[in-house]
């Protein structure tokens, strides 16, 4: 299996997508900023908080975080939470590598300092300067000595360009958004939405973390349930567990409703296909008229009775005795 195609089913902490997460306003702008109707543009910007003296490169950023874990972004980052950055647009990782998108290199303070020192040198050879110019836009502080310990959790990839990352709607593989916005985005994408996978990352993240939390508590209680007198822990777990079961039950009912709707649509599609076939079978080749009583004409193929009578009348009056 190719590395860039390993997905979360094979390795749960991997993703075969690279996704750009942003706010609703920026997401809409991305889809509407192309040079033609089916092109989008993710603008390149100097990252917020970057010191322009050491980093003035414009980049478009993506994450290789698996879809089910992207909800953590707004849990960890106050800025992303305040800007409600729950909208995303994603592409196959293999495609992005071909387009020149590369993983960010997180460097410790010492290594990064030496790189910046070399970068500021005026005595570099042409080849050395070219190499530094290629490397510098991809580096980011590891933050090993800062209180927040940097941003390596973002698992960032970058596209270096003064304008940004252009893409065709046909390149889109993933859309992240609250589920109630799916229909509107599909209308915008039109025919290109058929192959796009839609994810409500906040909901997926909440369901996953709830499951992990309850599983951890359950394991702790089961390990000592026969010799533990801590009823408060058990009561707290059972209370939360009941809530979790209720949420899963509601989700199941929602899925059953969707299943019923799908079955109804399939039934209607079957009727329409049968009607279409019936129309084709009873549409005359010669005149294009519909009739359940088509006549096979040796010269013209199938023909409706009225047109056949008209042809016969014309033949009898004008050509029969000629």
Residue after which a domain boundary falls, among 143, 175, 201: 201
Q: How far apart are CA 187 and CA 116, in angstroms?
A: 47
Residue after which a domain boundary falls, among 201, 218, 246: 201
Give the structural domain span for 298.
282-322
pTM of the model: 0.66
- Smallest Cα–Cα separation from 32: which of 235, 202, 188? 188
Written as one string, the DSSP assignment of 73-114 is: HHHH-HHHHHTT--EEEEEEHHHHHHTT-EE-EEE-HHHHHH
Which residue matches tokens 């049968």?
A: 274
Domain check: are 65 and 99 in the same one? yes
Domain check: are 55 and 91 in the same one? yes
Contact assessment for residue 8 and residue 66, using Cβ atoms and an 8 Å cutoff: yes
Domain check: are 261 and 196 in the same one? no
Domain check: are 299 and 245 in the same one? no
- Smallest Cα–Cα separation from 54: which of 110, 137, 127, 172? 137
Which helix (H) or strand (E) element contains residue 258? helix 231-281
- Smallest Cα–Cα separation from 142: which of 92, 174, 108? 108
Within 8 A by CB and 6+ apart from 93, the residues are 4, 5, 15, 16, 17, 18, 64
Domain check: are 256 and 183 in the same one? no
Number of domains in the chain: 3
Distance of CA 15 to the CA centre of its chain: 12
In tens digits, what is the pLDDT along the chain, a chain of 322 residues? 788 888 777 787 889 999 999 999 999 999 999 999 999 999 999 887 666 666 788 999 999 999 888 888 888 887 777 878 899 999 999 999 999 999 999 999 899 989 988 888 888 899 999 999 899 999 998 988 887 778 888 999 999 999 999 999 999 999 999 989 999 999 999 999 999 999 998 877 776 676 666 666 556 655 655 444 555 655 666 666 666 676 667 767 767 777 777 777 788 888 888 888 888 888 988 888 888 888 888 777 898 888 888 887 777 776 666 5
Contact assessment for residue 174 and residue 89, using Cβ atoms and an 8 Å cutoff: yes
Distance of CA 183 to the CA centre of its chain: 14
Domain check: are 129 and 246 in the same one? no
């Amino acid at each position: 299996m190719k590395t860039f195609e390993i997905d979360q089913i094979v390795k749960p902490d991997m993703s075969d997508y690279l996704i750009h997460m942003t706010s609703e306003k920026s997401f809409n702008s991305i889809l509407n900023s192309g040079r033609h109707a089916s092109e989008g543009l993710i603008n390149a910007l100097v990252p917020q908080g970057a010191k322009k003296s050491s980093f003035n490169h414009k980049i478009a950023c993506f994450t290789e975080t698996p879809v089910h874990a992207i909800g953590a972004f707004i849990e960890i980052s106050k800025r992303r939470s305040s800007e409600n950055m729950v909208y995303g647009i994603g592409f196959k990782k293999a495609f992005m590598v071909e387009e020149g998108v590369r993983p960010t290199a997180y460097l410790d303070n010492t290594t990064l300092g030496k790189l910046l020192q070399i970068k500021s040198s005026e005595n570099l050879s042409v080849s050395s300067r070219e190499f530094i110019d290629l490397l510098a836009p991809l580096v980011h502080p590891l933050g090993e000595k800062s209180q927040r310990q940097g941003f390596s959790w973002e698992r960032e990839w970058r596209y270096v360009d003064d304008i940004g990352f252009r893409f065709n709607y046909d390149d889109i593989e993933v859309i992240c958004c609250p589920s109630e916005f799916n229909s509107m985005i599909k209308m915008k994408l039109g025919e290109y939405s058929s192959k796009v996978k839609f994810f409500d990352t906040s909901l997926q993240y909440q369901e996953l973390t709830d499951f992990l939390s309850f599983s951890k508590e359950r394991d702790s209680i089961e390990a000592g349930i026969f010799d533990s007198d801590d009823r408060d822990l058990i009561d707290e777990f059972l209370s939360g567990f009941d809530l979790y079961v209720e949420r899963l039950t509601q989700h199941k009912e929602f899925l059953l409703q969707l299943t019923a709707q799908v079955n109804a649509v399939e039934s209607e599609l079957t009727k329409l296909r049968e009607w279409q076939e019936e129309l084709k079978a009873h549409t005359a080749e010669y005149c294009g008229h519909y009739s359940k009583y088509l006549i096979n004409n040796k010269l013209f193929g199938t023909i409706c009775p009225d047109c056949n009578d008209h042809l016969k009348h014309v033949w009898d009056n004008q050509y029969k005795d000629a």
